[in-house]
Chain A
């Protein structure tokens, strides 16, 4: 990046003022968002932001400062600010920060992108969304139809006092649509391919075209309408088949977050909490049944949680978190990995230039099994199939969870027996995963992109991925609450 050679002088200043380690990230980001609603363009926006952040270790404690103003004077001011902040941190410390070694590299990395989404004319994108949006409203029960797409580009330079110089560029694309039907005192929503904006990937406009929003729009509208007429999900303990989209959030909340070693060591305690996966459990604890293997993989081309290097200059890696049901590893950073005398797992990422990197999920994936969804349903005497996330909540150790999905289908004697509305299910994480007795295979496995994972104070939003296939769980409580 053009500005970097000048700004990296800030690192010299930090060292001169007493920093034992310093790094600088210079970041430029742009985002385009387009949404249509009920046949009208709701908004087209283009944002650009740029800035840099300086992270320093002084007297064994961290300091971080950032600015939107990219010039040398500001970089020197910010570096001085970071050192002062670090000295203040050092007045309240229990131990000195130490960092696992990393080989400093000079390298660059770019995510795959065939069709630059920022070069596709805005009116062409709008027309695609209007076409899909119109089809959603073919069902008269639909009160609100929406279709949206968004594109994100980030260029990032990382330089450290250890000699790393890394340039990275990523392009992300995503789109989705939804229908809200209103009637009979009910409000019901269906979405495609997922709720909350759809599906996302490190890819170009080709990803949006492949989603074929118009091809799925009528079904989305029709199902939202049908849900108004559907009976309430029964309150029972039964067999649950979780669809691939809901499975993504199940993995996210009950495996991804609790595997973050900074959370395990307490640094998120006052915000979203800690984790039940305490260090003595590593390598021993039965997290789930033998069919459950979960992997963190930042190396999958196109994954929303993929990258070349993390924000400490550590290369992307593939790490088993749960292996044959046994909890195996954490997501780690250079600092936290020293607790085990290991190298970093390369999962430190910051939400733009103004945030200090923290441990984030990469692509956290349930490894595929050898069933099919059809076989699972045929093999289930009584149960319910749930898909498309609608609501989520989990306790501050990531044990007691409750999810709601947009739709449920009762299963009786090996066949779908009808739709139910407002389905919810709840459980305790290891008990739930312990009840897993079937996972679908590679053909039904999908790598979802979730661009909205929140963590930390100040809040940081990460873009993560979850590979998942439908899976079956025994003895799950569904239909929670009074309806």
Chain B
């Protein structure tokens, strides 16, 4: 197994944390609401699935410098566009989760060559008044943790303080966690609909959809909405015993589905 590598790349005015793990087919990974802290299970599962994962963190997430440019979704998709170029992910398959998937689809709508393939894990960005996405921030931190995954213990690398850390280091760790939560909240506030439904028909990129059967944030019913709205869905999968962050609850299942998707004939760049 290839060792995890953490870089801090200059991208515009920001320093972007990029993690790399595994060996095999190159795949990008865009995190969901809690970023990609060290110990994120998707990284550990990459190698066994034959994937070489490059995982950049959007501004504010997991140690990437916070941005002052986050007025609206367009700020974010320009951040992502720059990051995709800086990390050589342009034209490659990318697995994108939750809010990461939301930004990736927005980018694909205006930049068709950005990704060869999108594997979207419980994407946010569509909204149905009769079946609303749960607000993960109108609750306490402990309840939010239980909302995100079927098994709340799997997100310990994000929510729990690292053992043995104390003093100023622990304070700064807490500040960084708060920055990640701030960046995530800013993407879905006041609700995760930035008008994507007006643009989603432009997404020509082949899409594989993955959804947890126990998603408490974006109900499983949204899988059908996404499948109907996207013009080029090639596969859709549900994952049992997984909540919203499927990649945290069932990382090996996700990497296997990703490996299957990128191994499909004609799917490689």
A and B part of one assembly: no
